[in-house]
Structure 1
Amino acid sequence: MQNIALLFTIIVFVLAFGLLLRVMFRIVEYCYGLLFDKPVFVHFCPFPKKISPIAIDFLTNEFTFYNNLSDKNKVYFEHRVARFLDNYQFVSRDSFVITEEVKVHIAATITMLSFGMRQYLCNVFDKIIIYPSVYYSNLSKQYHKGEFNPNARAVVFSWEDFQKGFDITNDNLNLGIHEFAHVLHHQGMRSNDISALLFARMYTEINEEVSVPKVREQLIASEYFRIYAFTNQFEFLAVILENFFETPLEFKKQFPDLYYKVSLMLNQKH
């Protein structure tokens, strides 16, 4: 009995000590985030998952963001793509054929947006629905190219329009980035991990800045962001992330302060 009691005491102590360390780390990281506007660390995967040769070929030949990474970060990127493919369902509509390249392209897009965040798997959706082209929504009674529907826990794409977003790389129109920006927004404002907290803080600062009439007038007058950005706060964020990834040098040149805040929000620079 004494041995059992001792073992039980040791187990309780280890669990309590582990919990204490976790709480202390969260406090330290929160303070670190306040000081340096980034997590203590982002990538940690001692046993990274692999993706198929087909996936590697696609990323190498078709995905510029991946090719600009260091060899070490390419391993992290591949790991995250593999994890995405394992965790989300892909659903075909109107007889669209979902190939491995289709899946990898979609997974790579959200991996690109969230690559500076430690918590990169979002729990606000669980499936990707893909139509061959523009589709009619029975909910909105309108035709759509894509949408994020948090109630249905789904991100929906017209594949034709998703591809167009990557065919022209500098027009600041990218359906995949736009809809996944809505996902990150929804996730970032509801989660409490360090990346989400930093996202929410920078998002608040951005909204405060662009709500100033003079700043808003300058943004509109520049014609750098398409007018749809000023529909509401949600669309503004989605549009500026399209610009951030497609024309980062022009973004930084025209609006350096806003660019800096977006880079902090995503923990990324170009």
Structure 2
Amino acid sequence: MPVSAAAVAAAARPGPASAWPSWARLKQASLTDREAALDRQWYERARPETLRAREAHDPVAKEFLDEQWGGPKRPYQPERPTDPAVQQRLRQDLAAARAAVEAERRRLEEAGLRAPSSREPAGFEERSTPAGEQEVPPTAKAAAGYEGTVAVARSDIPALAGELFTGGSPRALGSYDPAHAIRPPDDVVVPQAHGHAEQDLGQQLDARLARLTEAERAAARGHTVSIRVDQEVCSVCAAALGGGPRAGVLSRLSARHPELVFEVTADDVSTVYRIVGGRRVR
């Protein structure tokens, strides 16, 4: 099938030539304006990953994706990470980080500087499910008998190329600043809800992002910070991904860096949190 000259021109564009205030305005303009028509074709032909990277600062990208995936809540959006290769690397990073934690734990225990670990590898558990009582297999971490939680992060921000960030809960030898802005909701005072791996990692990321120069931050706009945790993200860390005083660690981190996309995944679950400006966009 022959390809039109307009389609070739749209495909050759690195992005829309103009900044449009809304998808509706662009569609209307495209009916009579050739440049607008080319911009519209660019959005319609762009890969979803490209548009997701733009939606933090491009209302047309956001509204186009909303339209494609069933509205603002996007019920029809496939729930999968943006880049499988990044996830594979994060899995490897997690394995290496956990190995380092366990090696250091053994060293501390052998030196008498830490009480011996008491957790044993977990087996199948009987749990009540919607389908009745079932034998549920343990998570990979529980099956290995690991204590605490570990999280890692990488980013495609040019200034952060090649940098690896690693966080852990106290039982995984992590540390955190309780007075830092990246923390659980204000009314959560239970000690066990503080110091999670996501909090340790989030504080590190916040500090590193704060050191970006103006030029580096401008170049970072629309890029992604990919986070992976070695167990399901807890409800405290994922609290109120719409903002407000009950906002948890992930929402607070994203709200402080609204020009970035934060994508959070975890071992043993398929949930993907994609967060922009403190709010979950998927």
Q: Same fold (TM over 0.5)?
A: no
Q: Which has the larger radius of gyration?
A: 2
In terms of fraction of residues, the more helix-rich structure is 1
TM-score under structure 2 length normalisation: 0.28
In terms of fraction of residues, the more strand-rich structure is 2
